[in-house]
Structure 1
Amino acid sequence: MEKPVPRPGLIATVLLLMAAAFLLRPLIKPPQLQEGRVLAGPPAWAGIARLDDLRHQTDAWVADRFPARPYLIGWLNAARLAIGDSGSDRVLAGRKGWLFYNDGTRLGPARAKPPLTDAEAAEWLRGLSARVETLQAQGAAYLVVVPPAKETIYPQFGPAWYPGPSPRRTSLTLASLAARTEPGHVVHLRDPVLAVAVSGTQAFSRHDTHWTGDAAYAAYAAILQRLRAQGVAQATRPLSDFQPVVNGVNPPRDLALMLGVASFVPIHYRGYVDPAADAYRTTWLSERRGWTAPQVVDTGETGKPTLLLTRDSFSNALTPFLLGHFSRVVLTHIDDGFWRQDLIDRFHPDVVMLEVQEHGLGFAMRGSPPVSEAAETRIERALPGAPTHGPLAPSAPSRGRFVPLSAAPAALAGLDASVPIPTCAVDQALMHARGLVVAGWISDLSAEPRPTQGAARLSGPAGDFVQPLEMNQVRPDVGIYFKRPVVEPSGFSSTLNLQDVPPGAYDLRVYRRSPTGWIGCAGPKGLVRP
C-alpha cells in the first residue's frame, strides 16, 4: 500500500485556523449557535478490543469542540442563506429569507404525508370522547386548542418546491371529525391566526418556529369565545391591557440559532406580558425548574375558576393572556403526558385545556380513559369504515405475569440500580379486570441502536412485582419533538397480566435496558388493583 504523502500547505492552513481561533476568541464574539442535537460526549475507554470505537468517539468529540467551529458554521451558513440555501438538514430555507423547521419529512404533515387512516382517526376520537365524558362527570370542561404550523400560514414564503398546505392534513381532518362527534371541544386556530397574517400584522417571525404575540392574542380571543360557550363566564380583555415586548432579552429565533446565523440576520419578534403577572405566585411541583416543569400559578384573582393547562412551546406566547382569567392555573408539559389524571384528582380543575401545535395533534389522545358505548356509536356513525377497535385499543393480556421482584428472572436483575432519566413518559396506565394497560416511551436519546428489553414494576404495601415489557413501538412524535428521528423506536404499549398481583394500591415504574444497565421512568402513583 502506498504511503500517504504529507501536504505541508494543508497542514499549515489547519494549524493557522486553530491558532487564529484561539487568538481571536477574546476579540470576536462567536456567532450564536444551537444545533438542535446533543453534541458528542468525551470518549470512553471500553477495552483494547474496541479501539476503533474509541477513535470514532474521539474524532466526534474533537470535531464538536473545535474552537473555530461556531465561527465557521455561522459564517458559512450566513453565506449560504444569502443565496437561498440552508446549511442544516433541520432547517429549510424559503423565499425572502424565511426559515421553516424540517422534522425529516420536508413539511410532510402540512402536505398530508402520511395520510390519516380511518382507524387512526377513530382511535383519536375515542380518546377525545373519553376525556370529555370523564371531565363532564366531574363538572369540568375539556378543550383542545390547536395552533397552526408556520408553513400553513405563510406558504408563499416556503421553499420553491412546497405546494402549500393540504386541506386534508391530519389536524383539519381531526378537528372536522371532532365537530361531528364532540362538538365544541376542539378549536383549530388556523382561521384567527391567518386573519392576523392577512391584515399585515406579523403572525410568525422569519427566523423562529413559533407564532408571535399578536397571533397568540387572536388565538386567545377565539379560546375565550369557546370557553364562554362551555359556561366559563370570562370576558375577553383588550390587547391594550397587555404590555408589548419587542425582542427582549432572549427573543424567539430557534431556526436562526440552528443555522448559527442569529448574529447575522435582523431578528424581530413581538410578544406581550400582563403587568398584573408581577403579583402571581408560582409553586413548583417537582425538583425541576423552568417553563416545562410542572407548576401551579396562583394569580390572586378570587372567585375565578381553576385551569389545568397541558401545553407545548406555543404556550409561551399564549399563557400571558390566559392566566388572569383564573384563580389558579396548573401548568404541565406534554412531555409529561397528554392526559394528567393525577393532577385532575389533586387539583379538581374547572377547565382542562390541552394546547398542542397542529402537527402533534394526531398523537395527543394517547393515554386516555376508556370510552363509553354511546361515544363508540357516535364515532362509528362518523367513520363507518373504521374498525371498532383501533390500533391503540387495549390488547389481549400479555403471556407473561408479574412476579415478586425477589423471584424475578436473571434477565431483570439490577432494576434497583437503574438510572432515572427525564426523557420518558408513561402516557397511559389503567388498571381494570383484564390487566394493566400501559403505554408511553423511554429513551436516552442516543443514536446507537438500543435493546428492546424493558420491564414494568408495581410497588405497594402488598408487595413489589415486576414483568417484562417490550420497547418496540415506533413513536414519530418523540422523534419530531427531539428533532432526532433515530429515537423514534422508543415506545411501549401493552396490556400486562395482573393475575398474581394482590389487590391494593401500587406505584408504577417502567425500565429499559441500555448498554450500561437499566434506565428508569417514574409512572403514576396510587394505581388501584381491584
Structure 2
Amino acid sequence: MDTPIPRRGLIGAILVLMAAAFLLPHLAKPPQLQEGRVLAGPPAWTGLAGLDDLRHQTDAYVADRFPARPFLIGSLNFARLRLGDSGSDRVLAGRDGWLFYNDGSRLSPARGVGAVDDAQAAEWLRGLSGRIEALQGRPYLVVVPPAKETLYPELGPAWYDGPNPRRTSLRLAQLAERTEPGHVVHLHDAVTAVKAAGVPAFSRHDTHWTGDAAYAGYAQIMARLRAMGLRQPTRPLSDFRPVVNGVNPPRDLALMLGVASFVPIHYRGYVDPSAAGYRTTWLSGRRSWTAPQVVETGQAGKPTLLLTRDSFSNALTPFLLGHFSRVILTHIDDGFWRQDLIDRFQPDVVMLEVQEHGLGFVMRGSPAVSEAAEARIEAALPDAPTHGSLAPSAPSRGRFAPVARAGAAFVGLDAAVPTPGCNVDQALLDARGLVASGWISDLSVKPGPTDGAVRLTGPAGDFLQPLPIDQARPDVAAAFKRPVAQPSGFSTSLSVEGLPAGAYGLRVYRRAASGWIGCQGPQGLVRP
C-alpha cells in the first residue's frame, strides 16, 4: 500500500512554490519588461454557451497576470540570450550580445526584399514634388537616419548577409537627387563615419542611434539647410552636455526581452543646457512626446520650423531646437504631411524625419504635382506609368456624405468610445480617392457586427462613408489572444467625388454590442 507521505510532500512543495511566486514581487524588484502588446483582460461571463471561451480567457488572464511572470520571462530570456538566442519574436539576437528589432520580416527592408518598383517609386517622387511645390519656395527637407542593421551587419544574426545597396531607402534617395536635388538627406554615410571613428553609433540593447550619431546627422542637416538659405553655423559638440544612461536610458530591445535588469546598459545622448528656458505649448489633450506641441525657444529673430518625426528625433532635436525661435513638433502617426499646421503656423522650414525603413510610406497624402515635376519624374523613370495607381482596386461608387445627413444607421457616432483595440495602418487621400487599411475591434468575447464607417473632418466640412469591417486579421487575434478578434480588418479604396478640397483628419468607427467605438487615424490628409 502506497504511503501518503510522498504525496503530502509533493503537495507541500507545490504550495511553497505557489506562495513564493506570490511573495517574490514583494521581496525583490521585478525585472523591467515591456512586451509591446496588451495583456489579456479579465474573463467575461456570457452564459453557459460561452463556457469554452471563458476557459480560454481565464487561462490567458492567469498566464498574463501571474505574479512571478516577469522574473520567469526575464531569467529565461537572459539564459537564452547567453546562448545566442532570443526569447521574443520581436527581437533578433545577433553576435556578441547585440539585439536587433524584428518587425516580422527578419530584416527584409535592409535585405532589399520587397523594394519599390518603378511605379511605386514614381508615385513616391510625385508626393515629394507635390510638397515642395506646395511650400512655394520654403525649404522642405526629408531626413533619413539609417537602421541599426545597415550600420552593424557584422554584429547581426549569423544568417544576415548585410544590407542591400538597392534597398528602398537608398534607391528613393538617389531618385530624389535626380528629380528634386537637395531635398532628401540620407544619413547613412554620415553615421558610418561615426562608427569608423570608433564612436558607438548605435547601442547594443536599443533600436535607436546614439547621441553621437545624431550629432553627425545634425551637422549634415545644417549643411543642407545653409544651402537652402538658412544662415546659421553648425554648433560644436562642446556646446552640448553629454548624458550617459540618465534616468530612463534607451534600451527598448532589452525591455522587450525582459533582460534590461540583467545586462549592462550603456547609451550616450546629449542635452542643450540652454533648453531650460524653452516653453512648450501642447496642441491637444495628450502630453506624451508624440503629442503635437509648440516649443518656444526664446531665440528672437530666428525662423520657425515644423518637424514631423519618429522616435529617432529624440536624440536629434536637442541639437536642432536652438536654431529656431519656434518649433512645431508632430509625430508621423498623426500624418506625414500636416497642411493644417502649415496653414496655422506658416513655418519657414518644414522637415520630415523618418528612419530609413519607413521612407517608402511617408509621401502618402501629398498635394498634386505640376506638369513640370511630372516631366522630371518621367525622365528619371521612363518605364514607370505616367500616373501611379491609387490602389489595386477601383474606388467604390459610394460617396462621402455630410455627417448631418448620414441617417439613422449612424446615430451615436459622436458618442463613440475610443478603443485601444485598433490601428489605421494606411491612409492616403488625393484627388482620385481615399485608400485606407487597418483594424478595429472591441476585443469582446463574441464576434461583433461588421458595420463600420470612415469619417473625414476638416475646415471644409464633416463627411462620412460606410466601411465594412470584416477582413481577417490573424495577427490581431494572436496578439490579444482572442480568436473572435480575427475578423477586425478593413482595406478599401473609396471615391472622394464631391468632397471639397482641403485638409482633413481621419477617424474610423465600428459598431459594437454597447454602441459605436472609434479609432483616431492620421491628421493633415489633403484633398487637392
Do the structures match in fold with TM over 0.5? yes
Residues 451-530 of structure 1 mapped to structure 2, 5 A cutoff:
453-457=451-455, 466-469=464-467, 489=489, 491-498=491-498, 510-513=507-510, 515-516=512-513, 517-521=515-519
Contact kept, 8 Å, 1:123 with 1:393, in 2: the verdict is: no
Query: How far is the alpha carbon of 1:338 from its aligned partner?
Result: 0.5
Contact 1:471 1:512 in 2 (8 A): no
1:344 to partner: Cα distance: 0.3
Question: Is 1:386 the equivalent of 2:380?
Answer: no
Q: Deviations over 1:421-477 (max 9, x none)?
A: 5765685555x6x7x6465756459699987653234679998753223568999xx
**Which moved further from structure 2: 274-283 or 52-61?**
52-61
Q: Counterpart in 2 of 1:3? A: none
Structure 1, 32-41 or 333-342: larger mean CA deviation: 32-41
User: Residues 458 and 506 of structure 1 are in contact (CA less than 8 Å); yes or no, is this contact kept in structure 2?
Assistant: no
Alignment pair present for 1:205 and 2:206: no
8 Å contact from structure 2 (residues 395, 493) kept in 1: no
**1:160-212 CA distance string (max 9 Å, x none):** 11000010111001111111111100000000111111111000000000000
Aligned partner of 1:332 in structure 2 is 330
Unpaired runs of 5+ residues, structure 1, are 1-6
Q: Which residue of 1 aligns with 2:348?
A: 350
Question: What do the CA deviations read for 1:304-323 (whole angstroms, capped 9, x no partner)?
Answer: 11000000000000000000
Cα distance in 2 for residues equivalent to 1:150 and 1:117: 24
The residue aligned with 1:150 is: 148
1:386 positional shift: 1.3
User: Residue 462 of structure 1 contacts residue 504 of structure 1 at CA under 8 Å; is this kept in 2?
Assistant: yes
Q: How does 1:242-257 map to 2 (within 5 A)?
A: 242-257=240-255
Asked whether the 8 Å contact 1:367–1:427 carries over to 2, the reply is yes
Structure 1 residues 128, 13: CA separation in 2 closer, same or farther (over 3 Å shift)? farther
Question: Match of 2:83?
Answer: 83
Provide closer, same or farther for how the CA distance between residues 385 and 27 of structure 1 changes in structure 2, counting only shifts above 3 A: same
Structure 2 CA distance for partners of 1:351 and 1:464, relative to 1, 3 Å: closer
Secondary structure, aligned partner of 1:297:
strand
Map of 1:308 onto structure 2: 306
For the pair 1:57 / 2:54, whether they are aligned, the reply is no
**CA 1:90–1:11 in 2, change beyond 3 Å: closer, same or farther?**
farther
Q: Is the 8 A contact 2:364 2:429 kept in 1?
A: no
State the shift of 1:114 in Å. Answer: 1.6
1:161 is paired with a residue whose SS is coil
2:193 corresponds to 1:195: yes
Q: Check whether the contact 1:367–1:439 (CA below 8 A) recurs between aligned residues.
A: no
Cα distance change of structure 1 residues 223 and 172 upon mapping to structure 2, 3 Å threshold:
same
Which whole-Å CA distance do the structure 1 matches of 2:33 and 2:44 have between them? 26
The answer to which of 489-498 and 54-63 deviates more is 489-498
Kindly provide the CA deviation profile for residues 388-426 of structure 1, in whole angstroms up to 9, marking residues without a partner as x: 222337986631234565764665454233223576568
Q: Gaps spanning 5+ residues in structure 2: where?
A: 1-6, 481-485
Change (3 A) 1:488 1:340: farther
Q: Which amino acid aligns with 1:232?
A: L
User: In the superposition, relative to structure 1, how do residues 111 and 9 fare at CA in structure 2: closer, same or farther (>3 Å)?
Assistant: farther
User: Residues of 1 paired with 2:33 and 2:527: CA distance?
Assistant: 50
The residue number in structure 2 matching 1:275 is 273
Q: 1:421 to 1:68 in 2, by over 3 A?
A: closer
The 3 A distance-change label for structure 1 pair 506 and 371 is: closer
Could you tell me how far apart the structure 1 residues matched to 2:152 and 2:102 are?
15
Partner Cα separation in structure 2 for residue 312 and residue 11 of structure 1: 53
Matches within 5 A, 1:65-214: 65-135=65-135, 137=136, 139-214=137-212
CA 1:451–1:124: 2 relative to 1, 3 Å = farther
| Contact 2:32 2:260 survives alignment (8 Å) | yes
Matched residues in 2 for 1:472 and 1:29: separation? 44
* Worse overlay, 367-376 or 520-529: 520-529
Distance in 1, Cα, partners of 2:89 & 2:75: 17
Q: In structure 1, what residue type is equivalent to 2:236?
A: P
Identify if the C-alpha distance between structure 1 residues 508 and 299 changes in structure 2 by more than 3 Å, giving closer, same or farther: closer
Q: Which letter does structure 2 place at the counterpart of 1:511?
A: V
Residues 470 and 382 from structure 1, CA distance in 2 versus in 1: closer, same or farther, beyond 3 angstroms? farther
SS in 1 for 2:269: strand
The 3 A distance-change label for structure 1 pair 180 and 92 is: same
1: distance between equivalents of 2:327 and 2:458?
31
Distance 1:525 1:24 in 2: 46
Amino acid at match of 1:70: P
What is the Cα deviation at residue 513 of structure 1? 1.7
Determine the C-alpha separation between the residues in 2 that align with 1:149 and 1:121. Answer: 20
SS in 1 for 2:205: coil
TM-score (norm 1): 0.87
Say which SS state the counterpart of residue 455 (structure 1) adopts: strand
- Structure 1 pair 241–10 and aligned structure 2 pair: CA distance change class (3 A): farther
Query: Quick check: 1:397–1:497 contact (8 Å CA) kept in 2?
Result: no
Matches within 5 A, 1:21-40: 21-40=21-40
Does the 8 Å CA contact 2:505/2:521 hold for their aligned counterparts?
yes
Deviation at 1:380? Answer: 1.3
SS state at 1:361 partner = helix
**AA aligned opposite 2:209:** W
Partner Cα separation in structure 1 for residue 461 and residue 240 of structure 2: 54
* Aligned 8 A contact 2:339 2:503 in 1: no
Instruction: Mark the CA change 1:301 to 1:444 in structure 2 (over 3 Å): closer, same or farther.
Output: farther
Structure 1 residues 526 and 121: alpha-carbon distance in aligned structure 2, compared to 1, 3 A threshold: closer
- Match for residue 321 of structure 2? 323
Work out whether residues 391 and 435 of structure 2, in 8 Å CA contact, stay in contact via their aligned partners in 1.
Answer: no
Q: 1:362 to 1:271 in 2, by over 3 A?
A: same
Amino acid across the alignment from 2:377: I
Amino acid in the other structure paired with 1:291:
W
Give, as a single letter, the amino acid of the residue that structure 2 aligns with 1:353. M
User: Which residue is 1:218 aligned to?
Assistant: 216
Distance 1:406 1:342, change over 3 A: closer
Q: CA contact under 8 A between 2:417 and 2:518: conserved in structure 1?
A: yes
